[in-house]
Chains A and B, each alone.
Chain A
Amino acid sequence: MKTYWRSIEELADPNELRREEARQEAKQKSLLLRGDERLTASSRRDFLKTLGFSLAAASIVASCRKPVEKAIPYLVKPEEITPGMANYYASTYFDGTDYGSILVKVRDGRPIKIEGNSLSPVSQQGTSARIQASVLNLYDEARFKGPLLNNNPVTWETADREISAYLDGGKGKSGKTVLLTSTIISPSTRQIIRDFISGTPKTEWIQYDASPASGMLSANKLCFGQWAIPDYRFDKARVVVSFAADFLGTWLSPVEYTKRYSAARQLRDGQKEMLRHYQIEAGMSLTGANADVRFPVKPSEEAGLVLALYNEVAKAKGARTYSGVSSSVDISGIAVDLLENKGKSVVISGSNDENIQVVVNAINQLLGNYGETLDWNTALLTRQGLDPDMERLLDDLKSGQVSALLVWDVNPVFNHPKGAEFAEAIEKLGLSVSFSERKDETSVVCKYVLPEPNYLESWNDFEPKSGIYSLAQPTIAPIFDSRPAQESLLKWMGKEQKYHEYIQKTWAEKYYPRQSVFADFRLFWNDSLQKGVFELVSPVEVQYNAEPLSLAAAKLEPVKPGVELVFYESVAMGNGKYANNPWLQELPDPVAKISWDNFAAVPVEYAAANGLKNEDVINLNGLELPVFVQPGQAKDTVSVALGYGRRVAGKVGEGIGTDLYPMLPVKNGIRSNYLENVTIEKVPGTVYELAISQTHHSMEGRPIVRETTLDEYVKNPEAGNEMRNEVLANSVTLYEKPSFNGHHWGMAVDLNSCTGCGNCAISCQAENNIQVIGKEQVRNRRIMHWIRIDRYFSESPDNPQVSFQPVMCQHCDNAPCENVCPVAATPHSEEGLNQMAYNRCVGTKYCINNCPYRVRRFNWFQYVNNNRFDYNSNSELGRMVLNPDVTVRSRGVVEKCSMCVQRIQEKKLAAKLEGRPLAEGEIQTACQQSCPGNAIVFGDLNDPESRISKLFQYKRNYHLLEELHTLPSVGYLTKVRNQA
């Protein structure tokens, strides 16, 4: 090897040179490190020391401790309570308006969920959003904590002494005593009231309906001699014609009607026929949105249309026709359809005008519907109030003829059109007592407040329809110092008796002898209590009286010019009784998708012509209201919901929306639900923010809700769903098809049965501890509902067709959300469920973005125990409603529908303990259990015999966005409209 050298020295001794170099370097370094130069230098060691120190310091500073929470076991175990196991008690919900037979789920002594009672012939396992939300009313801080006298606590003894002395004609009492109640359908209570009236001097009983059916009751009295409403058997009907009766949403008994209506529209078992539904109305109601044919008309046009329909039917039947009011809208097609379905049709009207109701009765009579689709044997009794009674009461109050008023379960100061006059008159009374459970506008003007317990804390019995009875039983000891109003009345009559015993006595005397199943009353009582319902229907003879018709036809009022303001009750809020319930406030209106407000729905055409858009403000006869441009709103009409604008309700409900009750017109003592000749003015430059949770209304031609008509469907069951074959044919994947060995959970939603009522959303909210976020956050599009109902409009904006589609997590077997989560917080279960591990989630929101269905919800804030979200979860009392089986999610995590995994686990475990396979239909998700439309089916896709497996084989079945190959476990059945 050739030797290279740099210097002579190197050539001489190469190693020595290297050593010399090292020495030089060391010397240089030591120079640097010496003396005052020391400051200027640092070594790698110093660097590492600094680094290590900072790291250690940071980790010590950052370490923190988790709070310790203690669980205290029972010392003495209460009877019936097994920790972790729920008990169900049959009970009844009746709020003076809506009736529902229910099961109350009680966990660890707390009622936490309402389910529908499948044994009830009325509600048939269905509930409404309001019934579902009623469990939260129990844990409301606005409830009275004890009896009050002039807003100061008082003892029951003092109150009883003073009141009974006064009622018995004590000093200063010159006038009569009036007991003002809601409609009372409790046979025992009615008996107590009757005794009270006869036992107390100068006493009168008035029933007041906040959502009255006064016109209907008096028409039925005239035509049939019945103070009741016939049972509408939509399930037996082929044609339904509704004049502005929102029977699927708010009219009389919506849960029952929805059950029957959707039964008559079911196409799941090979049916070739279904009910055809005509709706004639001004605003787009939930019912109108489900109609096959809808006529948007002004409310004053209704009289002419009803008479025209009568005349068409009468002409065909050879009966007498009447001239009088007429209408320009042609509905002769409806008459033809009705005549083809004689005895199989229902004609109803939501009007409070007695004359219209008389003509409607005549149409049904001509069509032979009584005895077929309209049944007097099981007449509805949930409306008893007559509007003129209230006018009379007000006059009496003002003239001083009344000196004592006992108000029970009604709030006329708020929801009577002359509420202010009532308030003034009540304040002047010698004695006014409110039995209200919670504070309201009427209780604040009453002298005494003797709170009654919540319905979940009390005993009661009910007769919602003649011959159909049900019971209510307490599911929790009264939380506050309350006493049933019945016991108060008994006490003032001088009887010391528990209401519970009174009911038992009534049943022992009235119903027990009339049944033949049980030989012992205790057995009969226990059975009735366990089932919650008892039937004792006896046939009624009813004669039709045609006489009032001619007078009624002559009295019908003609169409008025000008804009009409239509008042309606919203599906969530109703007459505003539970305005303090945050679940109901946050439930979006089914059609407008607006929560936390009422608004003026204006027609699209009018809005375009006057430059109005959503959230503008208009002035209606001096009242300013935010605008919502409502497709399908009839020309020259504006609709506004009642029940908002509560002044005294509690922290949630006060000041939400605008009170429209003072604007309700009262004509001849009868409340009318529209106001004529309204002036509209735009309030320039004002914007009122609305919490709209769906802002785009068109499907943009995408195959989201697939629909067809009945004719097409009969020809080809696949109609409207042709795309599915194409998708299946083109479906290609590189990966193995996911397989599930045990169960594979799936869900089907029948779009033909779903009415969009929103019961599922609240049921899910109660079951899964879903938090309320308030108006501002809903407006920010952050609503937490795990199941939402998408609503689309199609065709013309003046009279659109509406589609509803409940969307929850689709539990895709090829889920886009799962593979993008960096921390694997959302894995797929072995049973095909897409799961959320809340404590693993760090909140990157990638899954939210990658979910094509947008069903994932994010906890943008701490919604529990946060003063900024002062709803039910901000107090110990409100949090008692939480379901202990479901984690309460913290700030910063994603949540979504779990297909009620806690219910699946519960039933699986029960089956395992009993050593048997899970039965089909044993597991019911919260949304499915109480669905009034029976639209949701849940089950095991691996079981070829299950209902869900069969539904998935239907030609109507498709998956949402199936072209993306997400392989959802949720299927939808096409919507079929009964149109020519």
Chain B
Amino acid sequence: MYKTEIRGKLIDGDKSMDQISREILAPIDAKTPKWWYAAITVSLILFGWGIYSIYITLTQGIGTWGVNNTVGWGWAIINFVWWIGIGHAGTAFSIFLLILRQKWRTAINRAAEAMTVVAVGCAALFPLLHMGRPWLFFFIFPYPNTRGPLWVNFNSPLFWDFVAISAYLLISASFWYFGMVPDFATIRDTTKSKIKKAVYGFFAFGWTGSTKEWLRYEGLAFVLGGIAAVLVVSVHSIVSTDFAVSVEPGWHTTIFPPYFVVGAIFSGFAMVLTLVVLMRKLYRMENFITDSHVDAVCRILIFISLIMGTAYITEIFIAWYSGSPYEMFTFFHNRITGEYALQFWGMFIFNALVPQLFWFKTVRKRLWVVFIISLLINWGMWFERFNIVVTSLSKNYLPANWAEYHPTFIEIGMFVGTLGMFAFGVLLFFRYIPMIAISEIKMVSKFDKPQVVPHKEKSHE
């Protein structure tokens, strides 16, 4: 039970339970704002570019991309890793903060989880489409067959990847969805529109709010949360093995699993920050998403940024310490200096140095600065993946094979398309789903002075 007296207020505005429900549900029932239409149009245009790119890719082949026989993976894999990283935030928020008993998460976790699901969906597109023959993607699934039987290669990190990502998508989507069932029921019960009643009613799964249902609900959340907690760590560890298991200089390192997981959480939190700042501004949710929420996320980012900086320096040190000329070349001549220096320094500055500004309270208090820094971190994390994927591949062992890599219009379109898809998903979320978990936030909305009849409150707990 959350004691406001001890821990401080988590939501402002001395709201009643009814008020909380009404305010959170207001955007769903209210007239759709003009900016929303503008934003969704833009996102659909971007998404359209992506759809066109996918169409070209499917009909003509991945030859329409800039990848070649030296750099076999390009933007597609960069974007995949980047989106998966962003997709870590939701679950990390819900699970880690739950484990650490950070009750303030309740105002943000719904948004974070929604973002996770959309981001993982974006991410999942890339491994599928970067295949030479995506229509045979099911070969990667170990299904019983008459060909021998022919099984998949259980040694391959790509197979682990496939398992980890599908599991993660399934678990995080279920976790998010089941968390929303009581809120859907609330909408079903309060809305006046018949269509909404039908649609939300369908998704509410016949929720009645009985004690038994609450018990089941909590139990399910507990089980899914438990599984998801493991997945948060495992997914990006496994994604990192795609690189770490190889022999490529700059990839073949043991630091990768923790480095990737931390990096993922870093980018995820940064994206949460981006979204939450927008959400709070656009829907005037200052009472729910308070300054202290933003402040807390900023503090976490300082900490993770320090880990990132350490990881970068460790990598460079180990490259030197290994004495391997190939490793040294990759780090010292193809990252720190050389034609990809811009991407390296972009990564280093945006991820390791810029977030250190959060040490200053003045920075944390200025939301527009926070917003810009959160975008820079996202950008920096994209650079990090570019660094890993492209620099190692472009100049590896035999200099005769060294090649440059430049993305094409189609590849850029795929990335922009997923940005559009992400924005589209998030906008739909803003519009049709309660942005804040109503039922959960009510649990932490205890008031200092008894405004409402105390015993009614009790029955809720």
Interface residues of A (CB under 8 A from B): 21, 24-25, 28-29, 32, 39-44, 46-47, 694-702, 704, 777, 780-783, 788, 790-792, 805, 807, 816, 819-824, 840-846, 848-850, 852-854, 856-862, 890-894, 960-961, 964, 966
Contacts and interface: CB of A to CB of B under 8 A. Distances in A.
Contacts of A823: 139-140, 152-153
Contacts of A700: 325, 329, 399
Give me the 3 closest cross-chain CB pairs, A-B, nearest first.
A843-B132, A892-B132, A860-B63
A844 B62 CA distance: 11
25 contacts: A24-B210, A32-B208, A40-B188, A42-B202, A782-B63, A782-B69, A807-B398, A816-B246, A820-B246, A822-B156, A822-B158, A844-B130, A845-B132, A849-B248, A852-B397, A859-B61, A859-B132, A892-B61, A892-B62, A892-B133, A893-B133, A894-B132, A960-B398, A961-B397, A966-B247
B407 interface: no
Contacts, number: 199
B131 interface: yes
A871 B140 CA distance: 34
Contacts of A24: 210
Contacts of A21: 211-212
A43 B204 CA distance: 9
Contacts of B158: 820-822, 844, 846
A47 B205 contact: yes
B303 interface: no
Nearest to A853: B398
Residue of B156, B161, B208, B395 ringed by the most chain A CB atoms within 10 A: B156
Contacts of B247: 816, 850, 852, 964, 966
Given A807-B398, A849-B246, A861-B63, A780 B133 contact: no
A41 B395 CA distance: 60
A791 B206 CA distance: 72
Nearest to B197: A40
Contact of B73 (A44, A845, A961): A845
Given A696-B399, A790-B400, A850-B246, A842 B140 contact: yes
B69 A822 contact: no
B135 to A, nearest CB: 9
Given A25-B208, A25-B210, A850-B248, 9 more contacts: A42-B205, A695-B403, A816-B246, A822-B161, A842-B131, A842-B136, A842-B139, A848-B69, A960-B398
B180 to A, nearest CB: 14
Contacts of B66: 780
Nearest to B200: A40
Interface string B145-172: 0000011110111110110000000000
Contact of A891 (B61, B127, B151, B162): B61
Contact of B201 (A41, A701, A783): A41
Nearest to A849: B72
A783 B68 CA distance: 9
A32 B204 CA distance: 12
Contacts of A701: 325
Contacts of A25: 208, 210, 212
Contacts of A850: 246-248
B67 interface: yes
B61 A820 contact: no
B193 to A, nearest CB: 11
A707 B129 CA distance: 45
Given A29-B206, A843-B133, A852-B396, A780 B68 contact: yes
Contacts of A44: 205-206
Contact of B61 (A704, A845, A856, A861): A861
Contacts of A894: 132
A271 B192 CA distance: 98
Contacts of A781: 68-70, 403
Given A700-B399, A704-B398, A846 B69 contact: no
Size range of the interface on B? 35 or more
A858 B61 CA distance: 11
Interface in B318-352: 325-326, 329
A894 B136 CA distance: 14
Nearest to A50: B202
Contacts of A892: 61-62, 131-133
Contacts of B151: 824
A21 B205 CA distance: 20
Contacts of B403: 695, 781
A42 B206 CA distance: 5
B451 interface: no
B198 interface: yes
A35 to B, nearest CB: 13
Nearest to B246: A850
A183 to B, nearest CB: 38
Contacts of B210: 24-25, 28
Nearest to A858: B69
B156 A819 contact: yes
B131 A43 contact: no
Nearest to B402: A696
B34 to A, nearest CB: 31
A217 to B, nearest CB: 41
Nearest to B249: A852
A792 B399 CA distance: 9
A861 B203 CA distance: 44
Contacts of B401: 694, 790, 853-854
A104 B250 CA distance: 49
Contacts of B152: 822-824
Contacts of A29: 206, 208
A542 to B, nearest CB: 47
Contacts of A891: 61, 132-133
Nearest to A39: B198
Contacts of A890: 133
B429 to A, nearest CB: 21
A858 B197 contact: no
Interface string B99-131: 000000000000000000000000000010011
Interface in B354-402: 393, 395-402
B402 A893 contact: no
B19 interface: no
Contacts of A824: 150-153, 156
B194 interface: yes
A46 B139 CA distance: 32
B201 A791 contact: no
A697 B201 CA distance: 68
Contacts of B61: 859-862, 891-892
Given A40-B198, A854-B69, A891-B133, A822 B399 contact: no
B245 interface: yes
B317 interface: no
A695 B208 CA distance: 69
Interface in B208-225: 208, 210-212
A403 to B, nearest CB: 55
A447 B260 CA distance: 74
B32 interface: no
A28 B399 contact: no
Contact of B398 (A782, A821, A852): A852
A704 B73 CA distance: 25
Which of B162, B205, B393, B401 has the most A CB atoms < 10 Å from its CB? B401
Contacts of B140: 822-823, 842
A696 B398 CA distance: 10
Contacts of B198: 39-40
A820 B329 contact: no
A46 B401 CA distance: 57
Contact of B69 (A704, A805, A857): A857
Contacts of A820: 155-158, 245-246
Contacts of A859: 61, 132
B60 interface: yes
Contact of B397 (A32, A821, A853): A853
Given A849-B73, A854-B401, A858-B72, A844 B205 contact: no
